[in-house]
Amino acid sequence: MIQTLSIAPYIRTWRRTWLLMFIVALTLMPHVISSYLIHGGLVFHHLLVFVAFSLGWELLMNAFYRKWTLLDGSALLTGVILAFITPLNVDLVIISQLTFFAIIVAKWMLGGLGLNYINPAMFALLIGLLVWPLQIEPLRAGDMSVWSGIVFTPEQSINELAGYQLWSLGAYSSIIILASLLILGLTGILRWEVTISYLISYGIFSYFFLGFDYWYESVIGVVTPMNLLIAVYIINNPSCLPSTFIGGIIKGIAVALLLGILQKQGGYTLLLVPIAVLLGDILVPIIDRYTQGRSFSKMRIGGK
C-alpha cells in the first residue's frame, strides 16, 4: 500500500482560495453601495453582468478541461475588478469580449489559477482600450464608471488628479480603499511590501517626472482612488508576485517607475495603467531569479 506523507499534518489554517477571494471582493462592496446612492441601479446591473459573464466563461472552461474551479472565486473577483474600471454604460457585447480575454485568454490559456503570470483584468483592459477606446476610456467617452472621476486627466491640477474634489466621492473612495488596505494587510491576504513600495515610489517618481511645482501635489496623486486601486488590488495579484520580500519591494518600485515614465511621455491616460502593470508582471520571473536564495552550492562535491 502506498501512503502519501504530509508535511506537518497537524497544522491547520483558515486560508482557503475561495474565502480569500470572497474577502477581497467584499472589501470593494462599500464603494459599490456609495456609487449606487449616486448613480442608481445601473451600478448593480453593470456589476452583475460582468460577474455573470466571468462565471460563464469560467464554467465553460471547467467543462472543457474537466477541472472544476468555478467556486474558487477568482473569476468572481476578476469580474468585479473589470466592472470597477469600465464605464457603467459599456455595451453588452464589449463586456462579453472583455471577460473572454480575461478568463479564457489571460487565465486559462496561460495555465490557470496560480500559473498565469499576468493580471487577467489588466490584460482585458488593455485589449479593450486598444480595440474600443471610445467605449472604454471614461475621459473620451464622457461616461460615468463605478470609479468615476478617478482616472488621471491631462491637466495637472490637484482637483482633477484626485478625481473628485477632496470632500466628494473621491475622498470617500480613497478612505474606503485605505480601510481595505488595513483589513487585507492585517489578515495577511495582501503583501504589504508590494503596496507600500509602490505608493512611496510613485510619489517620488511622479514628483520628478511629472513636473509638479509642490511636493504635496505628488502626495495627492498617490492617494487618488485609482492609484490606491492599483496598489491594493491590481499589483497584488498572487499569481504575479515575486516569492521573496525583497522581490516584492522591487516589483512595487518597478511598476511605479514604469508608470511614472509612461505618464511623463504620454500624459494621464488610462491606457498607461495596464501597460505598466503587465510589464511589471512580466518582470517577476527575472526578479525571482536574482532575489531567491540558491538551492545548491557552486562547490563541486566528490570527484576531482
pLDDT at 276: 92
Q: Which range has highest mean pLDDT (147-156, 206-215, 227-236)? A: 227-236
Lowest mean pLDDT among 60-64, 133-137, 175-179, 203-207: 133-137
pLDDT mean over 101-110: 91
Sequence-distant (6+) residues with CB within 8 A of 12 are: none
Alpha-carbon gap, residue 240 to 284, rounded angstroms = 7
Please identify which residue in the block is written with the cell numbers 522581490: 247
How many CA atoms are closer than 13 Å to the CA of 182, on its beta-carbon side?
5
pLDDT attached to residue 197: 95
Tell me the pLDDT tens digit for each residue of 195-225. Answer: 999 999 998 888 887 766 767 777 777 887 7
Residue 35, helix vs strand vs coil: helix
Q: pLDDT at position 138, please?
A: 57
* Cα–Cα distance, 53 to 49 (Å, whole number): 6
Give the Cα separation of 58 and 293 in Å (integer).
Answer: 36
pLDDT in tens, 248-288: 999 999 999 998 888 777 665 678 889 999 999 999 999 99
Give the pLDDT score at 38: 73
| pLDDT bracket for residue 228 (50, 70, 90) | confident
What is the pLDDT, as a whole number, of residue 299? Answer: 52
Q: What pLDDT, in 10s, does the model give residues 79-102?
A: 999 988 888 888 899 999 999 999
| Structure-model confidence comparison of residues 275 and 141, the more confident one | 275
Position 188 scores a pLDDT of 86
Domain spans of the chain, in order of start: 16-148, 149-289
The answer to which of 45-54, 131-140, 256-265, 279-288 has the lowest mean pLDDT is 131-140
Q: From residue 51, give the alpha-carbon distance in Å to each of 7, 80, 174, 228, 274.
A: 37, 6, 24, 22, 20
Range ranked top by mean pLDDT from 61-75, 165-179, 259-273 = 61-75
Quick one: pLDDT at residue 157? 42
Q: Does the pLDDT value for residue 142 go beyond 50?
A: no
Average pLDDT over residues 164-173: 44
Q: What is the pLDDT of residue 113?
A: 75
- Does residue 81 or residue 168 have the better pLDDT? 81
Mean pLDDT of 222-233: 84
Query: For residues 200 and 285, what is the distance between their CA atoms, to the nearest angstrom?
Result: 23
Cell of 103: 478568463
The pLDDT of residue 167 is above 60: no
CA atoms of 248 and 287, how far apart (whole Å): 9
Is the per-residue pLDDT at 182 higher than 50?
yes
